[in-house]
Structure formats: C-alpha cells, structure tokens
Amino acid sequence: MASGEGVVDGTPLKGPVFEVIDLTSDNGSVDEPLKNLLQSCIASAKRDSAQEHESGEESEEEQWESESFYEDFVEGLGDEDTFGGAVDSCTLEEAIAFRKRLREVGEDQFITETIEAATISAKKLCTAFGISSPPLFEGLPDSAYYPLLGLGISRELSKRVKLPQYNTIDDVASLLKTSKNIIVLTGAGISTSLGIPDFRSKDTGLYSQLAHLGLSDPQEVFDIEIFREDPTIFYSVAKDILPSTNKFSPTHAFIRLLQEKGKLLTNFTQNIDNLEGHAGILPEKLIQCHGSFATASCMKCKDQVNGEVIYEDLKAGRVARCDKCIKQLRQSNATGLKRKRSSNSTIHSKLRKREKYEDSSDKEDYDIAVAGIMKPDITFFGEALSAKFHDRVVKHDRRLVDLVIVIGTSLKVAPVSEVVGFLPPDVPQIYISRTPCSHVNFDVDMLGDCDVVVAELCKRAGWKLDHEMIPKNQKIDVQSQDGYDSRYSFKPIPA
C-alpha cells in the first residue's frame, strides 16, 4: 500500500495533516479497512453532532456559536450546474437516488453497495451529498475523500426528515389557515423587488460587485476587525445597501397579514434595511438578527443615535464621526488641552491604501485627538448576535411554534442558518425563494420571486393581500419540478 502526507506542492491541507492510504487492491476492489475508516469518520461526525445537541440550556445556547467545517466544501444541490458537468460528478437524478437509498438501507449497506463494491468512486459519491472536490485534493488517491464522504453521509443522516403528509401548494395554504404560531425567517430576497440588492446572487448580488476593493473575500466589507482598521472600506459601499425608501414589498405585507390574523409568532429577519418596521411588524414580534440601520453607535464612547443622523455621510461614502466626541474635543481645545494623535496602524496589504478620514482642520504642528467613528448598529462578522435572538429561539419559540416559513434566504450564515435545524422536526417547514436550499429538507419548496409566491399562497388560502405592487387579476403559472414530489416553480403569466 502506498502512503503519503496530505499535502500538495508543499501546502498543507485545511485542518490537521492526515495520512492518505491507497486501499484499493490490484484487481480494483477495496480492502477491508475501507468500511472501518468510513464508519470511523461517520461515528466521529455523529459524536460531534451529539455533543452539540446535549440537553441543557447552556449547551443549546453554545450551539449557536459553532461553525461547520464542511461549509467550505458544500455546494448548493439545487444548482443544476453542480450536477452532470463532469465525469466525476453525480447528476441531479443520481444524487437524489443515492440519498434516498442511504436512508432506506442505512450506512453499512450503503457503503457495501457503493464504495466497497467499487461501483462508484468516493470523490464522485461526495458530490451526491453536496460536497465538491477541494482544489488541494487534486491528484490524491480516492481514499483521500473518505473523511469527506463520511462527513457527507453523517450530515445527510442527521438532516430533518421531510414530513410525508405535506406535498402540495394547497397543503401549504391549509397550514396557513390552521396554524397559530408561525415563525417566519427572512433574508434579502424579500427586499430585492424594491431595488435593494441581495448579497450572494451570482451577477447582481452585492458581493459580486466588490472586486474593485481588492479584498480576498467580499464578506470582509462586513468584518469588524477590518472596519476597526479601515472604516472607509465599509463606507464606500454603504450607500448601496442603505435603504433609500420606506416602502415595503408584498412579502413584507404578507408577514404583516399573518400578524393581523394573530398567527405570527416571530419574524426573524437577517435584513438590515429595517423595512419590517416600516411594514408595521410590531417590535415584540420582530427579531433583527443582524441589527439594522435604525441606530448607530460610536466605536469610541459608545454613544447611540438615531440612524438617520449619519445617513448623509453613508450616502456620500464619507466616514461619520461622533458628534458627542467632537463636542468634547472642542471643549478640551477651548481649555488648551491637546493630545498627540497616535500613529496610524498599517492595514493588511490585501486592503487598499487607507484614506485620511481623521479630522485635521487645524494646520498646527501637533495632532489633536480624533473623534470616534460611527458604526451603524448592524452585526458584522466577528461580532456576537444579540442575546434577544438566542433567548427568543431557545426559551420561547421552540416550544410554541407550529409552522416555519423560510423566505428569501439561502441559509448560509450561521447562527441564523441553524434555526430550522434547532426547531422540533415534527413542525412543518416551508421554503420560498428563487433557488432551492439543498442542506435542509423542507416539506415543500416554492421557487420564484417571493412576492409572486406569497400572492398565490394568499389567493389559495382565501386571503386578500393588498399591495400596490401586486397587479390586479394577476395569474401565476405553477409547475412541479421533475424529480421532486414537493418542489414547485412560480412564474407570473404576462397579461
């Protein structure tokens, strides 16, 4: 048997370096250690999962802080381009069949029928579970993929099982009418009809438009450490995400309608545009998971102000300073107290040169202290979410919820993405967005513009959804998607 270290061109693989062992024999079959290795990987993943779900309030709250190792390798199974594009990639139909077979026969028999029987490579089988081939794995033997495959199998088996009694649009309409405590979890997709871009759409999302900033990852725009180092980076794009209107979409109106009918338990929103408030969602029914532009705080003195105070600076791409700090500085200067400004720190080379956002209105030889920088009260990467989010899910909603509706989000940002997996698995879960979400087994997937889907749902429920953006006598073409029993596409029929 050949062996080698898990490195390519001298570069260590992500995570601990491991030993790669070629388990194939001369006749192409797989040696006995294979199943033991895969089962060991699966067992390890299960232990990690069990530890995350231990009983007790403390462990439940700690669960929100974890980030998943496999996330870097998971691709959206709903993306048709993921399948059939290469010889070593499963087709969509194959992926569905493999996942179904795994649940039917269990992991032991599944491994026997696939890898042990040499009917498919581990590399290719990984794609059936949404795991793409890491670039650093290229050239390694197939056995290098066993840990990833074990992880994929464990993840699939740990997914919530779809409830078989809910399959149609009318089933969803019936759930709307009978449910009394509905959780609605929303993302940027509910605001795009108002001209506010989402973040991850391939060509139109905000992240796709930030290449000019020279960042290794566009998400760094919302990294708290980078903001502390150079707030000009965030302020240069803030105008693109700052809500320019108080209008709200038909989907916002749908959530308000649930509230008016006494059915809304909580609207968990990942959006920072504060349009839920404009739509009339009551503060006690709304959890703004990632904060909003409604308020802003000074990074130095922590003074909080109405967000509109810094809107002009945000729209101009100009770093806003704290008025309270400025007032204190002027009072200090009036009494002759001056401090030498500390030297600027050097930002990482991957960022563009720092702009001079500090005040230097006087031309004297010395520097005066700089007023604090204002930051909108949105949650950046690296900042903890509000305790209200954790407490609402863990201590309140989990025991009351009877229907979950996820709208306009790909559920890729933790810990909000983990909410649906944390709720009781026997509670129906519905998904509404333009593209499917592969890593959660929803009971019914409704794909299309969110505004179109909710308008059709209300029509089937016998509810009147009034909104100026919904055309009168609008007709919707609803089609079931091939290969799925409970996935539908929605398109408005041109008048």
Give the residue ranges of DSSP H helices in 242-289: 250-260, 275-279
Q: Dihedral through CA 206, CA 358, CA 321, CA 234, nearest 10?
A: 10
Query: Which residues, 6 or more positions from 212, have their beta carbon under 8 angstroms from its beta carbon?
Result: none
Cβ atoms of residues 42 and 102 within 8 Å: no
Cβ atoms of residues 282 and 200 within 8 Å: no
Cβ atoms of residues 434 and 189 within 8 Å: yes
Residue 390 catalytic?
no
Amino acid present at 104? E
Task: Please provide residue 321's backbone torsions phi and psi, each rounded to the nearest 5 degrees.
Answer: -110, 160
C-alpha distances (whole Å) from 387 to each of 224, 288, 434 are 18, 11, 31
Query: Which residues, 6 or more positions from 404, have their beta carbon under 8 angstroms from its beta carbon?
Result: 182, 183, 185, 420, 423, 427, 428, 429, 430
Q: Which of the following is catalytic: 252, 290, 439, 467?
A: 290
Q: From the CB of residue 219, how many other CB atoms can be counted at a distance below 10 Å? A: 16
Active-site amino acid positions: 290
